[in-house]
Every structure is written in C-alpha cells, then in structure tokens.
Amino acid sequence: MADPGKKLGEVQYWNLPGSVENWDVGIERRVWGMKPTFAKTWNRLSIGDVLFFYVAAPVRGVVGHGHVMAKFMGSDPLWPDEIRAAKVIYPYRFEFDIDNVIDPRRWIGDRVLVRDLRVSIQSIGRVRANAAAGLLTRIRSNWAVPEPVVVSAPPEQTVSRHDMPNAAFCMRGRVPHRQRTARRSLEKSGKISSNVRF
C-alpha cells in the first residue's frame, strides 16, 4: 500500500527504537521487525527509505543508519524476546542495508543524541526531513563520516531473500546479482563512477 502523503520517489526517514539485545541481532542479521499494531506503519515503509537505529537505555541514542532493502512477513522467532516467548512478536519485518554503524563497544560514548531534534523515541516513527538532516550532520561530524555522493536511480522492486528460500543471492555486500549487473552497466557507460554507492 502506498503512502498517500508521499510523493513518488520521495525518501522517508524513520527512527527505529529498540533494546540493546534486539539491536545486536538486528544489525548482525540486517533485519528489523514491528508488532502487528504497526502494520500501517510497515505498509508506509518503502524500499530506499532511510532508517535511524536508536538504542534505548542505557545507550539512549542513534548508533547507526541505513536504508530499507526489502519487506517480508516473519514466521520464526528471531530476536531474544521472541525466542524467550517462543513466538513471533514482530512479524512485520524488513531487511536493511547499513550505511554507517558504530561498534557496540562505543555506543554510549559515540551515540548521537536526538531529543533536541524532536525525534520520537517511544516507538517507530517518521522523522521530519529537517530533523533527519540534523541527525545526518551529527553522524558525519561525530563519526568522521565523509559527505555522501548521491545518485538518483529509480528504485528496483527488490524481493526479500526470506521470500525466496532457494534463491541464490550474491552475499558480497548482500547485493543481488541483477543489481550488481545494472551497476556495472552504468559504470561502463560512464553514467556513474565506481566509487559511488547506491
């Protein structure tokens, strides 16, 4: 379902609050999930939307950011609280690629604070573009991240590897073969340089 308030091709920004133990698993597996009460929010997520990884107490800050790669319904417990309960708590799941994340040993010292930017930390929520710009500026400053080179390309419909259990995905960078092939074509034609990420 498309978000009626979103223009075609417009990137949305989302804050994803979670516990230390759930973010350990989420970052390692590059998957995040939502409870059924957030089904409408999950439907508003689009491939390419920017995600901020907010870790709750004792960290209380953003420790990374990435973007949505694919959406799928989860049927197996994944996070520690799901495993303890022996049931799926967060069935509305999505894969993400990591743009930047700090080492968990540095989460408290190098986190990016968000309260003054009026970013919701109680539950997953949309982040206003000006607040997202502020967050990205702080991330670049605090973590010495270079300015990104942005390439506008139409989003490709990505199918989750969770929906295709026998699919052969290229795990080098977790990029499907068809995306690597498209990128090589653009590089050969001179439309992008090989050091540009998208």
Domain with residue 70: its CATH number is 3.10.590.10
Residue 84 forms part of a structural domain: yes
Q: Rounding to the nearest 10 degrees, give the CA dihedral for residues 38, 71, 27, 74.
A: 70
Residue 86 pLDDT exceeds 70: yes
Banded model confidence at residue 164, pLDDT cuts 50, 70, 90:
low
Residue 176 pLDDT exceeds 60: no
Q: Say if pTM beats, i.e. exceeds, 0.85.
A: no
* Mean pLDDT, residues 115-137 taken together: 90
Residue 112 forms part of a structural domain: yes
Residue 5 forms part of a structural domain: no
Residue range of the domain that includes 17: 13-143
- CA dist 89 and 92 (Å) reads 9
Residue 34: both structure tokens together: 């939502």
Per the structure, how many domains does the chain have?
Answer: 1
Residue 121 pLDDT exceeds 90: no
Residue 171 forms part of a structural domain: no
CB 65 within 8 A of CB 52: yes
Residue 23 forms part of a structural domain: yes
Banded model confidence at residue 122, pLDDT cuts 50, 70, 90:
confident
Cis amide linkage into residue 58, ω under 30° from 0: yes
Cα Rg of the chain, angstroms = 17
Residue 196 pLDDT exceeds 90: no
Measured CA to CA in angstroms, residue 36 lies from 26, 48, 103, 136 at distances of 18, 22, 31, 30
Burial class (CB in 10 A: 0-12, 13-18, 19+), 56: middle
Residue with tokens 């107490």: 57
Q: Which residue has the higher pLDDT, 107 or 176?
A: 107
State pLDDT tens for residues 24-65: 999 999 999 999 999 999 999 999 999 999 999 999 999 999
Residue 98 makes CB contacts below 8 A (sequence gap 6+) with 27, 30, 64, 65, 66
Residue 93 forms part of a structural domain: yes
Question: What SS3 string covers 174-197?
Answer: HCCHHHHHHHHHHHHHCCCCCCCC
Helix (H) or strand (E) holding 17: strand 13-18
- Residue 123 has what DSSP assignment? S
**Full DSSP string of 62-103:** EEEEEEEEEEEE--S--SHHHHHHTS-S--EEEEEEEEEE--
Strand partners, 61: 55
Residue 78 forms part of a structural domain: yes
Residue 159 forms part of a structural domain: no
